Amino acid sequence: MASHRRAVEDLDLSKLRELLSGTQAQVLTSLDPGYEASMERWSRAAIKPAGVSIVPTTSEEVAVAIKYASENNLDVAVKGGGHSTAGASSTNGGLLIDLGGMRKVDVDVAKQRLHVQGGCLWMDVDEAGWKHGLATVGGTVADTGVGGLTLGGGYGMLSGQRGLVIDNTVAATVVTSNGEINHASKTENPDLFWALNGAGQNFGVTTEFVLQAYPQKDVYMGTMIFAPTPENITKLVTAINDLYEVPAEGVHTKTKGKLNSLLGLGRPPQAGGQTVLLFIIAYDGQESKCKQLLKPILDIGPVVNTCHTGPYPEVNSQIPTVPGFRSSMKGAAYVLPIRPEFVTSMVSKYNTFMDSQPDAAQSLMAWEIYDPTEVVKKEENGCFANRGYHMNSLIMPMWSKPENDSECRQFARDVSLEFKKELEAHGQRTSEGVEGGASVKGKKGAVLLYGNYDQYDEISKDIFGDNYPRLQEIKAKYDPTNMFNKLFPIQPKPSSARIENTAA
Ligand SMILES: Cc1cc2nc3c(=O)[nH]c(=O)nc-3n(C[C@H](O)[C@H](O)[C@H](O)COP(=O)(O)OP(=O)(O)OC[C@H]3O[C@@H](n4cnc5c(N)ncnc54)[C@H](O)[C@@H]3O)c2cc1C
C-alpha cells in the first residue's frame, strides 16, 4: 500500500454503504458472498485481501466511491480482468473497485464502433462484434481484461493490419481522482486521452472505451507442433525470418500484416512431458493463400497440425494458458533475424528449469511474431513508448506452491537477461535499466519494454521513456495526489499541481 494512504475501517464501510444505498453497486467485505470471487486474480500470487470491494454498475457509482476514497485518503485499486500478475489490481486492506459488474458491449453498427464497459473481458468484445460481422484489435487470450490491456497499449491478432488497441480507441469515459466523470478523445480533454493511451492505469477508472471495429470474416488458424531438434528449429526460424523481414521503413512484410504467429516452447500434457515447439497462427484471409506463405514450414512436417478455417472469436482461445496457477509474466524484446542457435539455447534453458522444477510444468516461453509496420506508423497515437520494429517475447512460469515463487521468478529474470544479451549481439542499444532490464531509459525511441508484460523490476521512467515529463504534468492535473499508483506510478509534477481539472 502506498504509505500515505490508509486501509479501510469500519466507519468507512458504513459510510460507503450509506452513500451507495439505493444504487445497484455492491459493497462487499470478507463476510459477504461474492467477496472471494472479487479477490480472485488470474495468478494466485496476485491475490491480496481488500478492506472492501465495491462492485459498481455505472460511472456514477464509481464516482461516488472514488470521491469518498479521495476525501478520506483510502488506498485504491481497480480490477478489470484481473490478469496483472504483479498484483497491480489488488490492495492490501484498501478499497477495491471491481469492474466485474460492468461487462456490457453496445455495438453501433452504422459507425462500426463498440462501446465497451470498463470491466469487459475480450471475449465479451469478440462475441458482441462478431454478431455483426465486426472485430477490432483485442487480446489473444479471451479471458484477459479490456481495461488493463488497453490502457497499457495492447497487442492482438489484428495488430499487423490495425496497430495497437490504443490505435483503435476512439474515446473513453474516465472517473478521475476527484470523483468527476470525464470524457476523453482527440477533441475532448485531448491531454487526458493522450495519457490514457499507454499509461491509462495512472489517470482514473475508465468506465467505457469506444473502439473502432472493422468488417471481419472467418480466419484460418491453428497450432503446429514440432520436435525441438536443431534441424527443425533452423528450418522454422529461417522461414519465420523470411516471412517477417521488413523490406524498408513503412513497407509491409510478405505477410501484408495478415499473419500473426507465436513460436512457443511448452510441455503440453499430450506430449507426455516432452518439450515441443509450438507454432500458433492466425491468418486473416483465405486458407490457400496462407498455405502458400507457410509452405516452407508445412514442408518441415509438423507432428500435429490443427489449422482450419473458423469464426474470428476462436483465434483468441488458441494459446494454451491456464488460470488457477501462481504465475508471472516477464517480457523481453527481440529483433529479426532470430538466430536458430539462440532458440536452441533457450530450449536447453527451458528444459533445465522444467526438469528441476516439476511444480512449474505448465510454464511457457514465446516469441510473438507480427508485422510491426502498422504499429510503428501510428506513433502519433498516445504516450505508448514501445513502438518499433522489434517484437515482444514472453517468459511465463506457472507454478502452484508459494515456496517456489522466488525460483520461478528468477527463471523469468534469467531468460529475460539472455534476450537482452541477444539484442546487444544484434547491435541494439540497451542500458542497464533496473535489474539489468533492456531499457533505453529516458532516451527517445522505443523503450524496448512492454509495460503490460514487464511488471517485475522496471520503473515508470523505463516504461514511459521520453514521455515521462509530459505525463507528470498531466498527472498533476488529473490525479495530483497519486491515487492511481499501482502500476508504473507517475509522480505528479509539483509546479503544475494547482492546474484545474477542466475540459480542454
Ligand atoms: C493469459 C494472458 C494473456 C495476455 N495476452 C495479452 C495480449 O494478447 N496482448 C497484450 O497486449 N497483453 C496481453 N497480456 C498482458 C495484459 O495486457 C496485462 O496482463 C493486463 O494488465 C491485463 O489487464 P486486466 O484488466 O485483465 O488486468 P487487471 O489485473 O485487472 O489490471 C491491470 C492494471 O490495469 C488497471 N485497470 C484495469 N482495468 C481498468 C480500468 N477499466 N480503468 C482503470 N484501470 C484499470 C488495474 O488497476 C491494474 O493497474 C496477457 C496477460 C495474460 C495473463
Say whether 298 sits in a helix, a strand or coil: helix
User: Which cell goes with 64?
Assistant: 461516488
Residues 333 and 449: their CA atoms lie apart, in Å, by 7
Q: What is residue 466's predicted lDDT score, i.e. its pLDDT? A: 87
Residues whose beta carbon lies within 6 Å of some atom of ligand 1: 42, 77-84, 88-89, 99, 118, 139-141, 144-145, 147-149, 151-152, 154-156, 201, 205-206, 321, 329, 452, 486-487
pLDDT value of residue 445: 65
d(CA 315, CA 123): 11
358-361: long-range pairs with CB below 8 Å, 24+: 359/399, 359/400, 359/401, 359/404, 359/408, 360/397, 360/398, 360/399, 360/404, 360/408, 360/411, 361/267, 361/273
Q: What confidence score (pLDDT) does residue 434 get?
A: 40
Is the fold of 105-215+467-479 the same as that of 219-462? no
Dist. CA 332–CA 258, nearest whole Å: 23
Mean pLDDT by 10 residues, the chain (504 residues): 82 98 98 97 97 98 98 98 96 98 98 98 98 98 97 98 98 98 98 98 98 98 97 98 94 97 93 94 97 98 97 94 90 94 97 96 96 93 93 96 96 94 79 46 67 83 90 97 96 67 36
Q: To the nearest 5 percent, what fractions of the chain are helix, strand and coil?
A: 35, 20, 45
What's the one-letter identity of residue 103? R
d(CA 464, CA 430) in angstroms, rounded, equals 15
Q: Which CATH class is domain 105-215+467-479?
A: alpha beta
Q: Which residue, 435, 305, 451, is CA-closest to 383?
A: 451
pLDDT of residue 454: 78
Question: Would you state the torsion angle of the CA atoms of residues 375, 237, 352, 452, taken in this order, to the nearest 10 degrees?
Answer: 10
In 119-189 the beta strands, taken as DSSP E runs, fall at 134-135, 169-175, 181-185
Q: What is the DSSP string of 154-166?
A: ---TTHHHH--SG
Size of the chain, expressed as the number of residues it contains: 504
User: Would you list the domain boundaries of the chain?
Assistant: 10-101, 105-215+467-479, 219-462
Protein residue with least CA distance to atom 23, ligand 1: 148
Mutate to test the pocket of ligand 1, among 117, 121, 370, 452 (most ligand atoms within 8 A of CB): 452
Would you state the pLDDT for residue 320?
A: 81
Please tell me the distance between residue 60's alpha carbon and the centre of ligand 1 in angstroms: 23
Predicted pLDDT at 211: 98
Q: Best mutation site among 89, 165, 209, 330 for ligand 1, i.e. most ligand atoms within 8 A of its Cβ?
A: 89
**Which atom of ligand 1 is closest in space to residue 41's alpha carbon?**
29
Q: Phi and psi (nearest 5°) for 495?
A: -70, -20
Distance 239 CA to ligand 1 centre (A): 32
How far apart are the CA of 265 and the centre of ligand 1, in A? 23
Question: What does residue 366 show for φ and ψ, rounded to 5 degrees?
Answer: -150, 150
Provide the 8-state DSSP code for 168: G
Query: How far apart are the C-alpha atoms of 426 and 469, rounded to whole Å?
Result: 30
Ligand 1 center to 392 CA (angstroms): 16
- C-beta of residue 329 within 8 angstroms of C-beta of residue 235: no
Query: Which amino acid is it at 129?
Result: G
CA separation (Å) from 58 to 15, 29, 100, 117, 119? 19, 20, 11, 9, 11
Omega cis (within 30) before 469: no
| Strand (E) or helix (H) holding 419 | helix 405-425
CA distances from 113 to 171, 175, 214 (A): 10, 22, 8
Is the CATH number of domain 10-101 1.10.10.10?
Answer: no
* CA of 288 relative to ligand 1 center, distance in Å: 35
Beta carbons of 389 and 377 less than 8 angstroms apart: no
Distance from the CA of 487 to the center of ligand 1, in angstroms?
11
pLDDT score, position 394: 95
CA distance 254 to 252: 7
At residue 4, the pLDDT reads 81
Distance CA 225, CA 65 (A): 49
For residue 104, how far is its CA from the centre of ligand 1 (angstroms)?
18
User: Which grid coordinates are listed for 383?
Assistant: 504516450
CA gap 237, 320 in Å, rounded: 21
Spell out the CATH class of 219-462.
alpha beta
Evaluate the CA torsion angle 475, 481, 487, 490 in order and state its sign. Answer: positive
* DSSP H or E stretch at residue 215: strand 214-215
